[in-house]
């Protein structure tokens, strides 16, 4: 979808509804009139949008003389350093490549243990595979769904070398707790920031607190560039090792890693030049887009807080979060209405609500086959908090490109459904 098409669909919307007029009217699931139309539904979920500027940018890169195409990378990396306040940046072809690179850069070796969360995309935990290290799963905090520092210490052994932490859905993890453990036990910290472009923790950009911050530029992310990624670090050695790992020909001359400049370590992780251009444009628009999303999401949160069975991930005052995804928890035992039924009822009203789509990691087969690992992964039978949150998740749109009216209609849909929960009990 491009911007000019969006304006057309926004202009077609004329439904105006507020909470009061729909409360206690027949649920759409029971044959009543839906709160939202199909068109409005579509707009709420739109992401990403590449506009005229992105299209012109892509064409401009293609039309360059061959020797000018890759200059884009250095420019992008300088802009990343400036925005994030980082000494070094390295663009990569995916976020996964950035994470695998980080595992090598910090010097992880065969048999080393890395503390990881279970509720995340697999690249946070499987960066261990790159270097023959082993993941050690730790449960999460119920109020953020992120790695719980209070549970990490019990899992630290003489082999523990690092913590790989995700900032799930854009909510920063407890970096004070994590960094103080890292200091105490001399551990490196890799931040997986693929959900958290632009988020801040005590005034510092996420991705600059640990040793290396890794980001994805994949199409669904808050900096969409089709595919791509980058990493940030303030450490000269980590930067040089990162370049040497997957970027032959770019290893800094004044670093001993330069001896591998002609080959890399068997990987080629260079970003696509068009993605690089799209990444630059996404960076330019990041803060403004994050603000629109936050305003819309916070409005909904403020309007549905207190509905029976709903729990929100509340944002602590020292955190400025972003929303890669907008997730809330719904506890069916508090209402007697099954989660599946609530989703059906909201969807019937035209409000898209989904189940969380990430499977949790400690339940996946890859961790169970000892032959794949330098030492068997000690997979926990249960991570109770992770499993409980995972079972309660409802995903809502992030409302990045829609009018506030649609946000209001979503709120109305929730209140309409909650005004007649008794209709939905089985
Ligand atoms: C998207 C994502 C990645 C991987 O990024 P790709 O660019 O898709 O390789 C890593 N971690 C998390 C948490 C992600 O969401």
pLDDT value of position 38? 78
SS3 state at 313: coil
Residues 58, 117 share a domain: yes
Report whether residue 124 contacts ligand 1, using a CB cutoff of 6 Å: yes
pLDDT value of position 389? 97
pLDDT value at 62 more than 60: yes
What separation in Å is there between the alpha carbon of 117 and the centre of ligand 1?
A: 14
**Of all atoms in ligand 1, which is nearest to the CA of residue 97?**
9
The predicted-structure confidence for 377-404, as pLDDT tens digits, reads as follows 999 999 999 999 999 999 999 999 988 9
pLDDT value at 5 more than 60: no
Write down the pTM of the prediction. Answer: 0.95
Of 218, 222, 357, the one to substitute when testing ligand 1's pocket (max ligand atoms within 8 A of C-beta) is: 218
The predicted-structure confidence for 313-341, as pLDDT tens digits, reads as follows 999 999 999 999 999 999 999 999 999 99
Report whether residue 335 contacts ligand 1, using a CB cutoff of 6 Å: no
Report whether residue 192 contacts ligand 1, using a CB cutoff of 6 Å: yes
Report whether residue 408 contacts ligand 1, using a CB cutoff of 6 Å: no
Which residue puts its alpha carbon closest to atom 10 of ligand 1?
123
All residues at 6 or more sequence positions from 302 whose CB lies less than 8 Å from its CB, including other chains: none
CB 124 within 8 A of CB 168: no
Percent of the chain with pLDDT over 90: 90
Report whether residue 218 contacts ligand 1, using a CB cutoff of 6 Å: yes
Residues 250, 120 share a domain: yes
What separation in Å is there between the alpha carbon of 96 and the centre of ligand 1?
A: 6
CA 342 – CA 417 distance, rounded (Å): 8
Which of 281, 299, 333 is at the close of a domain? 281
Residues 198, 96 share a domain: yes
Give the range among 35-39, 268-272, 308-312, 368-372 with minimum mean pLDDT: 35-39
Q: Binning pLDDT at 50, 70 and 90, where does residue 12 land? A: very low
Q: Binning pLDDT at 50, 70 and 90, where does residue 19 land? A: low
What separation in Å is there between the alpha carbon of 335 and the centre of ligand 1?
A: 35
pLDDT value at 7 more than 80: no
Q: Binning pLDDT at 50, 70 and 90, where does residue 10 land? A: very low
Pairing of strands 393-396, 354-355: antiparallel
Range of the domain at 225: 52-281
> Which is higher by pLDDT, 21 or 389?
389
pLDDT value of position 15? 42
User: What is the rounded (10 degree) CA torsion for 313, 319, 320, 321?
Assistant: -40
Residues 298, 272 share a domain: no
**Of all atoms in ligand 1, which is nearest to the CA of residue 195?**
15
What separation in Å is there between the alpha carbon of 123 and the centre of ligand 1?
A: 6
Q: Binning pLDDT at 50, 70 and 90, where does residue 1 land? A: low
CATH of the domain at 192: 3.40.640.10
Which of 220, 248, 281 is at the close of a domain? 281
pLDDT value of position 289? 97
What separation in Å is there between the alpha carbon of 125 and the centre of ligand 1?
A: 11
pLDDT value at 6 more than 70: no
Provide the b/e sequence for 313-347 (b: ≥16 CB within 10 Å): bebeeebbbbbbbbbbbbeeeebebebebbbbbbb
Helix (H) or strand (E) holding 161: strand 160-166
pLDDT value of position 37? 83
Residues 292, 276 share a domain: no
Q: Binning pLDDT at 50, 70 and 90, where does residue 16 land? A: very low
pLDDT value of position 81? 98
What separation in Å is there between the alpha carbon of 35 and the centre of ligand 1?
A: 35
CB 238 within 8 A of CB 208: no
**Of all atoms in ligand 1, which is nearest to the CA of residue 217?**
7
Which residue puts its alpha carbon closest to atom 15 of ligand 1?
194
Give the range among 2-11, 131-140, 290-299, 318-327 with minimum mean pLDDT: 2-11
Give, in degrees to the nearest 5, the angle at Cα 45 between 44 and 51. Answer: 95
pLDDT value of position 153? 97
pLDDT value of position 8? 47
pLDDT value of position 18? 55
Which residue puts its alpha carbon closest to atom 2 of ligand 1?
194
Report whether residue 166 contacts ligand 1, using a CB cutoff of 6 Å: yes
CATH of the domain at 317: 3.90.1150.10
Report whether residue 93 contacts ligand 1, using a CB cutoff of 6 Å: no
Report whether residue 195 contacts ligand 1, using a CB cutoff of 6 Å: yes
Residues 81, 45 share a domain: no
Region 217-244 average pLDDT: 98
Residues 39, 105 share a domain: no
Report whether residue 120 contacts ligand 1, using a CB cutoff of 6 Å: yes
Region 43-56 average pLDDT: 94
The predicted-structure confidence for 112-163, as pLDDT tens digits, reads as follows 999 999 999 999 999 999 999 999 999 999 999 999 999 999 999 999 999 9
CA 47 – CA 257 distance, rounded (Å): 40
Residues 29, 81 share a domain: no
Region 298-312 average pLDDT: 97
**Of all atoms in ligand 1, which is nearest to the CA of residue 166?**
13
pLDDT value at 297 more than 70: yes
Q: Give me the number of domains the chain comprises.
A: 2
pLDDT value of position 40? 74
**Of all atoms in ligand 1, which is nearest to the CA of residue 324?**
15
What separation in Å is there between the alpha carbon of 192 and the centre of ligand 1?
A: 8
Count of CB atoms within 10 A of residue 299's CB? Answer: 16
Percent of the chain with pLDDT over 70: 95
HSE of 322, CA atoms in CB hemisphere, 13 A? 25
- Picking from 120, 96, 98, the residue whose alpha carbon sits closest to that of residue 170 is 120
Which of 257, 281, 305 is at the close of a domain? 281
The predicted-structure confidence for 338-361, as pLDDT tens digits, reads as follows 999 999 999 999 999 999 888 999
Q: In the structure encoding, which two tokens stand for residue 180, read together?
A: 């103080």
Residues 264, 350 share a domain: no
> Which is higher by pLDDT, 214 or 16?
214
Query: Taking all residues of the chain, what is their mean pLDDT, rounded to a whole number?
Result: 94
């Amino acid at each position: 979808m491009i911007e000019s098409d969006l304006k057309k669909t926004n202009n077609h919307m004329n439904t105006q509804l507020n909470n009061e007029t729909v409360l206690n009217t027949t649920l759409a699931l029971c044959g009543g009139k839906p709160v939202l139309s199909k068109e409005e539904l579509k707009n709420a979920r739109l992401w990403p949008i590449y506009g005229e500027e992105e299209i012109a940018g892509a064409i401009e890169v293609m039309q360059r003389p061959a020797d000018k195409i890759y200059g884009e990378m250095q420019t992008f990396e300088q802009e990343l350093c400036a925005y994030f306040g980082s000494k070094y940046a390295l663009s990569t072809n995916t976020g996964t490549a950035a994470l695998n690179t980080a595992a090598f850069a910090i010097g992880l070796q065969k048999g080393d243990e890395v503390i990881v969360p279970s509720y995340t995309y697999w690249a946070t935990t499987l960066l261990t595979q790159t270097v023959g290290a082993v993941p050690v799963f730790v449960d999460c905090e119920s109020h953020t769904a992120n790695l719980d520092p209070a549970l990490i210490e019990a899992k630290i052994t003489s082999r523990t070398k690092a913590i790989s932490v995700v900032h799930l859905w854009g909510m920063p993890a407890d970096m004070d707790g994590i960094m103080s453990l890292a200091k105490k036990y001399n551990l490196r910290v890799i931040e997986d920031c693929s959900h958290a472009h632009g988020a801040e923790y005590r005034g510092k950009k996420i991705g600059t607190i640990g040793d290396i911050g890794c980001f994805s530029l994949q199409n669904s992310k808050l900096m969409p560039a089709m595919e791509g990624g980058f990493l940030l670090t303030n450490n000269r050695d980590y930067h040089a090792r990162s370049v040497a790992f997957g970027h032959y020909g770019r290893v800094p001359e004044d670093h001993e890693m330069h001896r591998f400049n002609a080959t890399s370590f068997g990987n080629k992780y260079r970003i696509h030049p068009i993605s690089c251009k799209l990444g630059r444009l996404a960076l330019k628009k990041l803060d403004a887009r994050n603000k629109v999303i936050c305003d819309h999401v916070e409005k909904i949160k403020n309007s549905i807080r207190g509905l029976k069975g709903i729990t929100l991930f509340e944002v602590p005052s020292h955190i400025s979060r972003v929303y890669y995804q907008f997730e809330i928890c719904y506890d069916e035992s508090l209402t007697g209405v099954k989660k599946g039924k609530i989703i059906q009822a909201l969807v019937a009203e035209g409000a898209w609500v989904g189940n969380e789509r990430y499977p949790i990691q400690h339940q996946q087969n890859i961790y169970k086959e000892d032959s794949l690992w330098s030492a068997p992964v000690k997979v926990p039978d249960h991570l109770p908090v992770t499993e409980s949150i995972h079972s309660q998740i409802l995903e809502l749109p992030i409302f990045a490109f829609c009018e506030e009216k649609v946000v209001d209609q979503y709120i109305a849909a929730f209140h309409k459904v909650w005004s007649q929960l008794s209709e939905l009990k089985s």
